[in-house]
A and B are shown apart, each in its own frame.
Chain A
Amino acid sequence: MSTLVATNKKSFGSTIWDYLTTVDHKKIAIMYLIAGGFFFILGGLEALAIRWQLVQPMNDFVSAGFYNELITMHGTTMIFLAAMPLIFAFMNAVVPLQIGARDVAFPFVNSLSFWLFLFGGIMLNVGWFTGGAADAGWTAYAPLSTTSPGQGVDYYVLGLQISGAGTLMGGINFLVTIVNMRAPGMTYMRMPLFTWTAFVASALILFAFPALTVGLFLMMFDRLFGSGFFDPSMGGNSVIWQHLFWIFGHPEVYILALPAFGIFSEIISTFSKKRLFGYTAMVFATVLIGFLGFMVWAHHMFTVGMGPAANSIFAVATMAIAVPTGIKIFNWLFTLWGGNIQINTAMLWALGFIPTFTLGGMTGVMVAAASADFQYHDTYFVVAHFHYVIVGGVVFALFAGTHYWWPKMFGTILDEKLGKVTFWLFFVGFHLTFFIQHFLGLMGMPRRYWTYLEGQNLDLGNLISTIGAFLMGVGTIVLLINIIKTSVKNEKVSGDPWDGRTLEWAIPSPPPFYNFKQLPLVRGLDPLWIEKMEGRKGMTPAEPLTDIHMPNNSFIPFVMSLGLFIAGFGFIYQKQDIAWLSLVFVGMGITLGCMLLRSVKDDLGYHIHKEDLKKEAGE
Chain B
Amino acid sequence: MKEWMGKIRTLSLFSFLVIILSACGKDNLTALVPKGYGAEESFNVILISILVMIFVFIVVMAIYVYVIFKFRQRKGQENHIPKQTEGNKTLEVVWTVIPILLLIIIAVPTIASTYDLADESEKEDSINVNVQGMQFWWNFEYANEEIQTSQELYIPVNERVYLNMLSSDVIHSFWLPSISGKMDVNPDNENTMYIEAYEEGVYWGKCTEFCGDSHSLMDFKVVVVSQEEYDQWVEGMKNTDPEYTAESSTAQEGQEMFANSCISCHAIDASSSNPVVGPNLADFGNRTMVAGIKNYSKEAIVDWIMNPGEIKPGNGMLSAPYLQDNSMEEEDAEKIADFLMELKATDEPVDSVEQFKKDETENNN
Interface residues of A (CB under 8 A from B): 63-65, 68, 136-137, 141, 143-144, 147, 232-233, 237-239, 272-275, 277-281, 303-305, 307-308, 311-312, 315-316, 319-320, 322-323, 326-327, 329-331, 333-334, 336-343, 351, 354-355, 358-359, 362-363, 365-366, 369-375, 377-379, 439, 442-444, 446-458, 533
Contacts and interface: CB of A to CB of B under 8 A. Distances in A.
A144 B115 contact: no
A64 B111 contact: no
Contact of A355 (B45, B64, B216): B64
Nearest to B21: A457
Interface stretch (B25-33, B227-235, B255-263): B25-33
Contact of A444 (B46, B117, B204): B204
A366 B51 CA distance: 10
A327 B215 contact: no
Contact of A371 (B25, B52, B110, B186): B110
Contact of A372 (B30, B45, B186): B45
Contact of B68 (A277, A351, A366): A351
Contacts of B293: 453
A308 B110 contact: no
A375 B181 contact: yes
Given A304-B184, A369-B106, 20 more contacts: A143-B169, A144-B171, A232-B188, A274-B82, A275-B84, A275-B85, A305-B184, A307-B118, A319-B107, A338-B83, A341-B72, A358-B57, A366-B46, A372-B45, A439-B23, A446-B207, A448-B216, A451-B217, A452-B216, A453-B293
Contacts of A239: 186, 188-189
B91 interface: yes
Given A65-B313, A326-B95, A308 B71 contact: no
A565 B208 CA distance: 36
A435 B210 CA distance: 23
B71 A275 contact: no
Nearest to A242: B171
Given A305-B189, A449-B215, A372 B42 contact: yes
11 contacts: A65-B213, A141-B170, A147-B169, A274-B83, A323-B96, A343-B72, A351-B68, A362-B53, A369-B110, A372-B45, A379-B208
B175 A455 contact: no
Contacts of B99: 322-323, 326
B182 A275 contact: no
Question: Top 7 A-B pairs ranked by shortest CB distance?
Answer: A374-B181, A443-B25, A449-B216, A305-B191, A455-B363, A371-B113, A278-B87
B173 interface: yes
Interface in B152-188: 169-171, 173, 175, 177, 180-184, 186-188
A316 B111 contact: yes
B182 A378 contact: yes
B5 interface: no
A319 B106 contact: yes
B285 interface: no
B22 interface: yes
A371 B107 contact: no
A535 to B, nearest CB: 13
Contact of B115 (A65, A312, A369): A312
Interface centre among A136, A316, A351 (most CB of B within 10 A): A316
A65 B45 contact: no
A272 B114 contact: no
Contacts of A64: 213-214, 216, 313-314
Interface string B42-76: 11011001101100110011011001100111000
Interface of B: 22-26, 29-32, 38-39, 41-43, 45-46, 49-50, 52-53, 56-57, 60-61, 63-64, 67-68, 71-73, 77-78, 80-88, 91-92, 95-96, 99-100, 103, 106-107, 110-111, 113-118, 169-171, 173, 175, 177, 180-184, 186-189, 191, 204, 206-217, 219, 293, 313-314, 360, 363-364
Nearest to B85: A277
A316 B107 contact: yes
Contact of A279 (B24, B77, B87): B87
Given A274-B82, A355-B60, A374-B182, A446 B175 contact: yes
B96 A305 contact: no
Nearest to A369: B110
A380 B293 CA distance: 20
A415 B173 CA distance: 49
A143 B208 contact: no
Contacts of A63: 313
Contact of A337 (B71, B72, B118, B177): B71
B216 A232 contact: no
Contacts of A456: 25-26, 29, 204
Given A272-B71, A448-B215, A370 B100 contact: no
Contacts of B42: 371-372, 374-375
B46 A375 contact: yes
Contact of A327 (B50, B81, B96): B96
Contacts of A144: 170-171, 210-212
Contacts of A447: 208, 210
Contacts of A143: 169-171, 187
Contacts of B188: 232, 237-239
Nearest to B65: A355
B92 A378 contact: no
A339 B66 CA distance: 12
A51 B254 CA distance: 43
Contacts of B95: 326-327, 330
A444 B29 contact: yes
A243 B100 CA distance: 28
B4 to A, nearest CB: 32
Nearest to B112: A371
A57 B91 CA distance: 50
A143 B170 CA distance: 5
A546 to B, nearest CB: 35
A371 B181 contact: yes
A341 B173 contact: no
Interface centre among B63, B188, B214 (most CB of A within 10 A): B188
A337 B45 contact: no
Contacts of B106: 319, 365, 369
A107 B217 CA distance: 52
A444 B31 contact: yes
Contacts of B77: 340
B115 A308 contact: yes
Given A312-B114, A323-B100, A444 B177 contact: yes
A366 B38 CA distance: 17
B211 to A, nearest CB: 6
A449 B211 CA distance: 10
Given A64-B216, A327-B96, A333 B63 contact: yes
A442 B25 contact: yes
